[in-house]
Structures are given as C-alpha cells and as structure tokens.
Amino acid sequence: MSASSSFTDIAALIADPARSAMLLALFDGRALPAGELAFAAAITPQTASSHLAKLLAGGLLACETQGRHRYYRLAGAHVAQAIEYLSAITPVAQAPAKPLDRQARGLRFARCCYNHLAGQLGVAITQALERRGFIRGEEGKRFELLPAGAQWFTELGVDLALIKPTRQGSARQCLDWTERTHHLAGPLGVQLLNALCAADWLRRSKDSRAVLVTPKGWAQLKAQLNLDPRSLENLEHKQALAG
C-alpha cells in the first residue's frame, strides 16, 4: 500500500461522523464497551460493531477483552495527537461562530486530551509554568523540565523517577485545538494531571472529558501559579485579539 493510499484510507475512517464521535468519546484515554460508543455516536449497536471493526483494522483503536466484554481504546497517544492536530485546522473563511452550549463551554475551559490536561486551563497552567522558569520550550515541540520545575513537580507529588521518556522526550508541546496554542503533554503532562486530581485541585467529570476545578484547586492555583478565573478570561481575550 502506498503512503498516499494509506493516508486517504485513514482520513476516510476519521471523516465518518459516527466514527469520529467514537474516537472523541475515547479521547480522555478511557476504554469503553461497544454499547457506550454506540450511544456516543447515536447509532445502533449493530452499526457500531461495523464501525469499530473498521477502526480496529485501520490501527486507530485497540481492543481489550475482560470476560465476555470487549473494551475499546485509542491505539495510542499518536492517534490522539493526530486527531488533536486535525481539529485545530479550520477553513480560512469561517461562518459566524454559534454560541457554545454549557457542555461545549466546559470542554473548552478544561478537558482531558487523551491523558493530559487541555483547554483554557491547560494552556494557562503551561504558560504559568514557563513564566516561573519551571519548564522551557525547546526545538522539536518539546519542553525541558528545569531544576525549579523539578522541585515544584516533586512537591506536588509527581515521582519524576517513574517518568519514562518517549521518542518525543518526557514533555512535549501539544497544539490545543480550541485555544490554538500549546499545552503540556507527554509523560510529564500525564503525571501533572494525575497529581492535580490526586491533590483534589481538579476532578474529572464522570460523563464527559470535562475537568472541574475545586475550591481548593482555585486557591492553590492562585497561590502557586497566580491563576484565577479572571486571569483565564484575560487569556481568552488576548487569544481572540491574536486570532
């Protein structure tokens, strides 16, 4: 199979509305059964089975079997990254944006991007870490963890010794599809989200990819990173002007 035919085949798999809905339902890194994915895509279980078989064959999904049940997840971070980058592409001439509903606003504010933090909050935290000299952007869309940052992450509860670098290093820059700028991803980004949830600064929504900030979380984000709801509103205003 040529590179061009492989590319078009994968693009066709992602382009189908039902299959794209399934992929987005798995974007927080969870493994879900076919029934839940059928519900997310608003299709029948029989139709979902056909779509899931195509996604498996195309290398976009992986399947785990537990007892009589099969659970599907994204085949890896590379699939999530590809979808995130595709989502950031918009037509040059756009129709006037429709007002976001409550769920969409929540996802834009803070959400799981495969297994790390994205959205306005993810971008704001990443930029705050850069301002404080905790991380530094490097070539190849990577972040370097600086000594002050290593101390901060350790005090937050992240065991840096357990982080295993990938081919892209321990920390990479992931293009945020709603904010059009980068947030922290990679193994360090994964551990950051886990630590923030373990410390009860953040809580994952039970029925979506949305992430919520607790009162304790806002207090700590303000004390340690000078972030509060108003600072995020200012960030959104700056990005609107830049766009």
The range of the structural domain enclosing residue 26 comes to 3-75
**DSSP secondary structure code for residue 135 in this structure:** E
Residues 115 and 229 in one domain: yes
Residues 29 and 107 in one domain: no
125 and 200 co-located in one domain: yes
For residue 38, tell me if it sits in a domain: yes
Residue type, 140: G
- Residue 225 and residue 136 share a domain: yes
Q: Say yes or no: 135 and 179 in one domain.
A: yes
Residue 123 CB coordination number (10 Å):
24
Domain assignment present for residue 147? The answer is yes
Within-domain flag for 85: no
Instruction: Give pLDDT, residue 16.
Output: 93
pLDDT for the residue 3: 54
Q: Is residue 190 part of a domain?
A: yes
pTM above 0.95, yes or no: no
Q: Are residues 148 and 61 in the same domain?
A: no
Whether residue 51 contacts residue 22, with contact meaning beta carbons closer than 8 Å, is answered with yes
Q: Does the pLDDT of residue 237 top 80, yes or no?
A: no
Residue 183 in domain: yes
70-120 pLDDT, tens digit each: 899 999 878 887 887 787 676 654 555 556 667 778 888 999 887 899 999
Which of 28-32, 101-105, 146-150 is the most confident on average?
146-150
Give 241 or 195, the one with higher predicted confidence: 195
In the chain, the number of structural domains is 2
pLDDT range class, residue 193, cuts 50, 70, 90 = very high
Is 81 contained in some domain?
no
